Structures are given as C-alpha cells and as structure tokens.
C-alpha cells in the first residue's frame, strides 16, 4: 500500500484510469450516470480488507470532473486509514455527487443515487458528508439498507457532526498537551475555519473551556449566528493564515495546508475536522515537522463521525460512542510521541499504524 498522492495537474498527465497514481491501491471505482435526474456521481472503493467500505457522500460543484475524481480517490483512501486506526472493522470508501447541493439536489436524484449504492450489494455503505443532511440519507434508505447516518426516529444514530466535533476537540487537547505541556485550552487563541455542522460545535467546546475563538467562513449569515451564540470574534479578511494564533482548526475543505499557506501560519498546533488537510502529505507534513508545528493527523482526530455511524451497524449505544471518541485523545498523544521519537512526521506515524492493521488482517485472511 503506497502513501503517495498526485496533484490534479499530475493526475491529468497520467493515463486516465489505471495509470492514475491515486488509483493504484483502489479496488473499484464506480461512475454513476442518470440523465433523468441529472445524477453524476463517482463511488470510490479503496479497500475492503477490514470490512465493507464505509464513507460519506459529498455533493460539490466541482470545477472539473478531474477534481471530482481526485477528491473521491483521496477521500476514500483516507477512510480506509481512518477506520483502521480507530480500530473499526470497516474498509474505506467515499462517494461524490457532482453538482450544487443547494440547487440541484432533489429527492429523485438522491433515490437514484441510492439505487447505485444498492447495486454494490453492501460492498460500499454510504453516509453524509459536505452538502448532505440526515434527511438525504433517509431518502437513500428508502431504496437501500446500505446507508448509515439516518434519523434517530428511523433507527439511525442521527447527525454524526457533534461527535466528530467532540473527537476533534479531544485531538486538539492532546496536540496542545504535546505542544504546550497542557491540554487546557483556556486562554489559547484558536482559529476555526469553516463553522458548519462540525465547526460550530467545536467552537462551543473551545469556548466552554475558556479558549478565545476567531471564526472564518464564506457564509456571512453563519458568521453572525455563531459569533452571537458563542461570542466568537469574526475574521472577514482574505488571509486567515496570517492571524496570530496558537491553534489552527481547518473545518471547511481540504488542502488548506499548502505551499502558499505554510509559510504564513503562526499556529503551533493544527487540529481540525477537514479531510486531507495536507495538500501533499509527504512534502507539507515534512515542512510542518521542520517548522515545529504539531499537526494532529486529520483522519485520526475526525473519526468521531465514523464511530457514530458504525454504531448503527454494530448496535452499540451513545456511551460506547463517547468512549471510543474520547479514546482519540490517547491515540493522538501516542502518535505524536511516536513521531517525535522516530523523527518521522505525525502523518507518517498515523499512516503506519493504519497500514499495519490492514496488512495484518490481510495476512490473517490468507
């Protein structure tokens, strides 16, 4: 199993399907097309050694189809490692629907998507991601059992975002302990970029502990609402990375840690919910290490959501969900210490644990 990921530019140069480096380790990619509903979706199944490939569906207005493909390949791969490091018996998968969730998402489109998921007979199990609501998963549930994140009233574990936020908070505290010697966030300045389903709850946890929160979002109404609720300071400029801060919490989209931002970042800790925060996990992971920034690997600390939806498959309750999520604190500390001792990046240290678990199961199954 390799760890390399190509940029969209490099992707375009390679052969369109099997020549894609990101596709190297994927088991299956499914392209779903339905003219009647306007559905254009891609399901990425990265690895099913530990169990069925579970991962959310993202609806996004991608600039190009290449961007959508690259996103699903990166996201599904991340899911394999997220479940593996969290100790869940799940593989990694993810789906993207190309389009604007605000204007193009219809019940018919969601149900048609559900039929495509059903056609995979449980090899891929879906859930919500950006652009999706619990109500959308309820629609998918009408046509397939291979969906999680459905409403509590329909027997599901409900919206996973508050649990994701709690897990990120645990990871942030562990990273603070490693960087500052204390996990108490009182008096720390934290920039939360993206105050959606996860970001808002994270703001609440940090505020409750006495941290100073600065929020940034492209949605002005959300900024006003969240600022009013928690007394958070709003940042409206276009250079959020240069703000003096102790902790940077990316909770919008991925790849915000890149060549342009890394030089500006003043944070000593990075801990957020977004998937694939490092644009290039090797290059940018190493640069953070050189600069002495403690990066809490995204796929490790944002696993609360998958823990929550896994409860629907394994029938465990809220208490076990909380216990597993709080465990993120210990795992994060362990990974950060291993990285320091072994002089490797924190991302590499986390990846190693995840890959070893998958490989061990593969050998067991032989």
Ranked by CB distance to ligand NAD, the top (closest) residue is: 196
Task: Please say which residue, 63 or 218, places its beta carbon nearer to ligand NAD.
Answer: 218
Contacts of 277 (CB under 8 A, 6+ apart): 250, 254, 255, 256, 257, 270, 295, 298
Task: Decide if residue 164 touches ligand NAD (CB under 6 A).
Answer: yes
User: Cβ 36 to ligand NAD, closest distance in Å?
Assistant: 27
**Count residues contacting ligand NAD (CB under 6 A)?**
25
User: Cβ 161 to ligand NAD, closest distance in Å?
Assistant: 4
User: Cβ 14 to ligand NAD, closest distance in Å?
Assistant: 25
User: Cβ 159 to ligand NAD, closest distance in Å?
Assistant: 8
DSSP letter for each residue of 276-337: S-BSSHHHHHHHHHHTT-EE--HHHHTTHHHHHHHHHHHT--HHHHHHHHHHHHHHHHHHHH
DSSP letter for each residue of 109-173: HHHHHHHHHHTTTTSEEB-B-TT--HHHHHHHHTT-S-B-S--GGGTS----HHHHHHHHHHHHH
Task: Decide if residue 137 touches ligand NAD (CB under 6 A).
Answer: no
Query: How far, in Å, CA of 270 to CA of 258, rounded?
Result: 13
Task: Decide if residue 242 touches ligand NAD (CB under 6 A).
Answer: no
Query: How far, in Å, CA of 159 to CA of 150, rounded?
Result: 8
Task: Decide if residue 90 touches ligand NAD (CB under 6 A).
Answer: no
Task: Decide if residue 345 touches ligand NAD (CB under 6 A).
Answer: no
User: Cβ 69 to ligand NAD, closest distance in Å?
Assistant: 17
Task: Decide if residue 167 touches ligand NAD (CB under 6 A).
Answer: no
Question: Is the separation of the CB atoms in 274 and 71 below 8 Å?
Answer: no
Task: Please say which residue, 48 or 276, places its beta carbon nearer to ligand NAD.
Answer: 276
Answer for which of 69, 80, 123, 129 binds ligand NAD (CB under 6 A) is: 129
Task: Please say which residue, 285 or 305, places its beta carbon nearer to ligand NAD.
Answer: 305
Helix (H) or strand (E) holding 352, with range, is helix 346-365
User: Cβ 264 to ligand NAD, closest distance in Å?
Assistant: 15
**Catalytic residue, candidates 12, 40, 82, 94:** 94
Which region, judged by CB under 6 A, interacts with ligand NAD, from 91-99, 251-259, 263-271, 287-295? 251-259
Task: Decide if residue 251 touches ligand NAD (CB under 6 A).
Answer: yes
Task: Decide if residue 161 touches ligand NAD (CB under 6 A).
Answer: yes
Within 254-273, the residues that bind ligand NAD by CB under 6 A are 273
Answer for which of 160, 171, 211, 285 binds ligand NAD (CB under 6 A) is: 160
Asked whether the CA dihedral 67, 70, 76, 79 is positive or negative, the reply is negative
Phi, psi of 46 (to 5 degrees): -85, -50
Query: How far, in Å, CA of 203 to CA of 366, rounded?
Result: 46
Question: Is the separation of the CB atoms in 81 and 2 below 8 Å?
Answer: no
Residue tagged 């902790």 (tokens): 247
Within 186-225, the residues that bind ligand NAD by CB under 6 A are 193-199, 216-219, 222
Q: Which of 72, 56, 78 is nearest to 3 (CA)?
A: 78
The order of strands in the sheet holding 189-193 is 233-234, 212-216, 189-193, 247-250, 269-270, 294-295
Residue 341, beta-bridge partner list: none
Q: Which of 225, 197, 203, 43 is nearest to 131 (CA)?
A: 197
Task: Decide if residue 130 touches ligand NAD (CB under 6 A).
Answer: yes
> What track of x and - describes contact with ligand NAD for positions 273 through 312 (by CB under 6 A)?
xxx--------------------------x--x-------
Decide if 318 is catalytic: no
Q: Which residues are catalytic?
A: 94
Binding site for ligand NAD (CB under 6 A): 129-130, 160-161, 164, 193-199, 216-219, 222, 251-253, 273-275, 302, 305
């Amino acid at each position: 199993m390799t760890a390399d990921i190509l940029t969209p530019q490099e992707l375009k140069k390679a052969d369109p399907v099997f020549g894609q480096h990101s596709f190297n380790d994927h088991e299956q990619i499914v392209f779903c097309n339905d003219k009647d509903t306007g559905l254009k979706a891609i399901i990425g199944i990265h690895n099913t050694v530990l169990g069925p490939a579970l991962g959310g569906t993202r609806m996004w207005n991608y600039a190009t189809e290449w961007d959508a493909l690259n996103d699903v390949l990166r996201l599904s791969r991340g899911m394999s490692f997220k479940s593996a490091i969290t100790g869940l018996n799940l593989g990694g998968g993810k789906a993207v629907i190309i389009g604007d969730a605000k204007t193009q998402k219809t019940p018919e489109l969601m149900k048609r998507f559900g039929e495509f998921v059903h056609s995979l007979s449980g090899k891929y199990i879906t859930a919500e991601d950006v652009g999706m609501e619990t109500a959308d998963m309820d629609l998918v549930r009408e046509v397939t059992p291979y969906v999680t994140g459905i409403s509590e009233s329909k027997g599901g574990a409900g919206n996973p975002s508050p649990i994701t936020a709690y897990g990120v908070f645990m990871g942030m505290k562990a990273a603070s302990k490693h960087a500052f010697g204390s996990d108490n966030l009182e008096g720390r300045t934290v920039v939360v970029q993206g105050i959606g389903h996860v970001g808002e709850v994270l703001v609440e946890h940090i505020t409750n502990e006495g941290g100073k929160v600065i929020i940034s979002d492209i949605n002005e109404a959300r900024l006003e609402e969240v600022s009013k609720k928690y007394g958070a300071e709003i940042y409206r400029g276009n250079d959020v990375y240069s703000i003096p801060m102790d902790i940077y919490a990316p909770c919008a989209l991925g790849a915000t840690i890149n060549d342009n931002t890394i030089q500006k970042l003043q944070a000593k800790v990075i801990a957020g919910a977004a998937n694939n925060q490092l644009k290039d996990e090797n290059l940018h992971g190493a640069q953070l290490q050189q600069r002495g920034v403690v990066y809490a690997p995204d796929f490790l600390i944002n696993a609360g959501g998958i823990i929550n939806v896994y409860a629907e498959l394994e029938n465990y309750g809220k208490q076990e969900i909380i216990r597993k999520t709080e465990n993120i604190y210990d795992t994060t500390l362990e990974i950060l210490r291993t990285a320091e001792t072994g002089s490797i990046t924190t991302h590499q240290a986390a990846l190693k644990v995840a890959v070893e678990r998958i490989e061990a199961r593969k050998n067991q199954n032989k």
